[in-house]
Chain A
Amino acid sequence: MGRPTGTYILAAIALTGMICACGPARSADRLDLPRIMLWAWERPENLSFLDSQKSGVAFLAGTAVIGADGSTRFRLRTQPLVLPAGAAVLPVVRIESPLSHAAIEVAPLVLGLRQIAEVPGVRGIQIDFDARRSEQPSYRALLASMSKYTSKPVGITALASWCEGDRWLNGEPVAEAVPMFFRMGLNESRNMQMSSPACRSSIGLSTDEPWPAQRAATIQRIYLFSPRAWTREEYDRTLRRVESWK
């Protein structure tokens, strides 16, 4: 019989350790990131032109696909990503699920996310999960587990309604929730108010859409999405737009 492997240890932690608090929760720690973060999605991205003093990169590291039985399968990034030296990086994991499925098995999901979050050099992890109302209990359990079993801060993207109406995120152990102001119809992106405290410090915007009429004073970090691969021109243009957004 072979000796227990690291995987066994992780499994043991995941399966039995959830009943004990094993240390301070870390996922709600602040994310040490620049004020401007570019989302680098599932496509080749050459961001060597980035000014790493001003901006960082939140790159899609992979997708966790939930199966009908609640199990999880990861697909990780296979597209090239070129970064300037010293850039602050934040891996993003998108969670996708079918319309109906059994309760999500949280332990494997945590372990997969942990593998990505613990890669040396990354500042934390951002989870991108458009959880339906029926999935919110599982999401809460996932965030609670992440707070126990990762040493890195955990941020999430948030549907704007979570920040304004449902406010179910209040009290969850997340470093930041980034409300996504994308393609939300004619008026919402101009008038939406982020009343949930978790959502006030950051915002997600797209380069090809109007931004809210005014920049809330509480916004400390802006995440920027481009529908196409980033270029130096697009980056410079977007920085100027951020500068002029008051």
Chain B
Amino acid sequence: MTRSIWLMGAALAGFLLFACSPDVGPFFTPLARPEDQAAFNKGRLGLLTPALTKENELIAFRLLNGLAVPPDIDKPKATEATPAEPGGPSAWLAERKTISTPPAPAYISAYRSDSTPQFVYYLNCLDNAFETAARTLADRRRTYGAPDAVTAWAVAQDQVFANCSSNKPQYPESLNSNAPVLIRADREYQIASAHFYAEDLDEAERRYRAIAEDAQSPWRQVAGYMVGRTLLREVSLKNNTEAAAKARDQFTSVAQDKAAGSLAISAGRMVEHLDAIEHPDNFMAALSKQLLLPQPQPEALADTLRQSAYILRATSFSKALAQPNVAEAFDWVQTLETGQQALEKWKAKRSLPWLTVSLIYASGKEPEATELIQQAERLPPDSPAFGTAAYNAIRLRIERGETEQPRRQLDTLLANKDQQPDSLVNGWRAERMRVSANFPDLLRWASRKPIGAEYFFDKTAGADEPVLAEDAAFILNYKTPLAKLNEAAHSGSLPPWSASDVALSAWVRAFMLNQPAAASQAASILRKDHADWLPGLAVSTDAERFRAALLIALHHEFQPLVPVDYRKHFQSGSWWCTVSEPAVESPGGAPNLMVAWRLPAFFTPSENVISKEEASAAKSELERLNAAGSAPSFLAPIIMAWAKQHPDDPLVPQALHRLVFVVRYGCRTGNANGRISKAAFDLLHQRYPDSEWTKKTPYWFN
């Protein structure tokens, strides 16, 4: 399948990496686009991971080879990660709309579907075709003179472009010999192009050749070039391999024609393209060499980056890329993305790019880890590999069970982090938390800064401010006893909104575990921001527990688990399901969640952080929380008992209504949901038929 590569044109500049799914974050690790592209291009690479775009991976390869990237490199095209501005068809449609009758098409698809294999498309009409049409229409409005002739030209062009995607060919009618020369020449070119886009290539070639021979046609130069393109499509669409040599001859001829102007440049590129197809190894070697030119022109380097990135993505080059002797730049990018044989390649080459990629994929258990760590720690802070090497060398030390040395190194790194990207600092903080000396030390490094938050929040202020990451939430939720949870909330080490989340969790747990004093401790934080909650925050007496249950039923923010979320909570949440500790590893033995590059989010803290007694208490509490069940299961006995014993309490109808509501919108996996909801519903309707809360409760739910 070589179709896409044959139809390179716009594709060379195109392909963006797709977001694989609508993740909402928060993310703490490097994304496809560096946080600061200009700093990245200057050599501050931060933490290299395979998440980068291929263009940025190639830039990293150049920088790791000790070469600079020109400051005025064509950044938007070379490192594009945001959607491109519309062009091509839009340019034509904008010009076409100057003619109101008949109206312009609302939309033109430039892609044609492929019948084999199914559901695959190719870019049939390239951008410059639409742009040329737009320019021509503007020109003919001046040169034709007659408005009807201009309209007829535009309508014929609509027919030409209809063939971009339609399987039902449309051809403009030929004009008779009485028509003015220019109008007739234009029409002949439109007819030839209609055949070209309709894949009627023999007829297209015949007509383009005729136009190329017509000395009176303004399209004669373009037609000569289009003969080459038609032959190229013979190869890609019809597997007519003999046409390749003819195409090369045709493009060479145009490229050598001094009168051909910019077409000669385009034809020259098509010859290069044919070289790439026929000799991919040579082509990749040449690109790899160009990537490492000491002082390239910015435009030339940008073009090399685009072409190289295209080759790395194009399926038609996959065989060539898989060869063992593939050119180094391509080998390095592929190794960065897969890790395969990274160590072996470093041993063979002993260069900084290969040291870096080896460190990225090394494990602390490997015998080479010691040498890798030594090499990494020799790098100066201004090395482009410094951040990646420092992070991974420390990761290897942690994997080998070291704590003191990594702690000292990280304290030094984090004290001098000002110029480093947030994603690297997040990685260092995650490592530093892993080797905490004690619980307050763990809290100090628990928060991280979300990366790319602005994408989800329409630039909401504060969205990228530090929050708890998955590793800290795991420790607080499943390894920390209630007393220490309160300690964390009051520590002053957490961001204020994270401290509130921890206090909420501590208060709910204290309520569920029947520890009024602990609830009171947590409440001292909660009431600062929510004075209206104060009447419901005590949990000693039955009356207080009823009010506390109603408070939870009114606010789903009350959760026994600390969430991982942005400061402005992206997920609004719902009432909790039964608390249970997540599996640390998948069935295959791989960590279930990473908090930074190859650093698992779930871990057991040292005894200096959580003592044996505290771990035992946390485990016991977790079992009791689990036994208390989901929010409806926990709240229902409290509310129903109070309602039956105190029918005159004016809050009872509202509490019964909310209990039905909690079942509806809360955890729906509980077996008792229907029973809880119906019991509350029945009591509400039987005892308080005229209550406003009864009227608001027409159904019960299961």
Contacts and interface: CB of A to CB of B under 8 A. Distances in A.
B571 A161 contact: yes
A242 interface: no
A78 B121 contact: yes
Give the interface centre of A7, A80, A81, A180 by most chain B CB atoms within 10 Å: A7
Contacts of A107: 106-107
B109 interface: yes
Secondary structure dominating the interface of A: mixed
B4 interface: yes
B418 interface: no
Contact of B563 (A2, A97, A185): A185
B1 interface: yes
B477 interface: yes
B151 A1 contact: yes
B573 interface: yes
A166 B570 CA distance: 10
Contacts of B455: 99
A177 to B, nearest CB: 12
B247 to A, nearest CB: 21
A34 interface: no
Interface in B1-54: 1, 3-4, 11, 14, 16, 18-27
A182 interface: yes
B120 interface: yes
Interface in A43-82: 44, 59-63, 65-69, 71-82
B109 A115 contact: yes
Given A185-B26, A186-B473, A73 B88 contact: yes
Given A6-B166, A193-B666, A213-B577, A183 B23 contact: yes
Contact of B458 (A99, A160, A213): A99
B260 interface: no
Interface in A121-147: 121-122, 128, 130, 132-134
Given A41-B18, A111-B107, A159-B22, A119 B669 contact: no
B454 interface: yes
A162 to B, nearest CB: 10
Interface of B: 1, 3-4, 11, 14, 16, 18-27, 82-90, 102-111, 113, 117-123, 148, 151-152, 155-156, 158-159, 162, 165-166, 168, 170, 172-173, 315, 318, 454-456, 458-459, 470, 473-474, 477, 561-565, 570-578, 580, 582-583, 586-587, 592-593, 601, 664-669
Among all A-B residue pairs, the 7 with the closest Cβ atoms: A165-B572, A185-B564, A76-B121, A67-B86, A108-B107, A111-B107, A11-B106
Given A1-B155, A191-B561, A209-B592, 19 more contacts: A2-B159, A11-B105, A15-B106, A44-B318, A65-B84, A67-B86, A71-B86, A80-B120, A82-B117, A159-B22, A186-B593, A187-B473, A188-B563, A192-B571, A192-B574, A209-B593, A210-B593, A213-B580, A227-B20
8 contacts: A1-B102, A91-B119, A112-B107, A157-B21, A187-B561, A195-B664, A210-B592, A213-B577
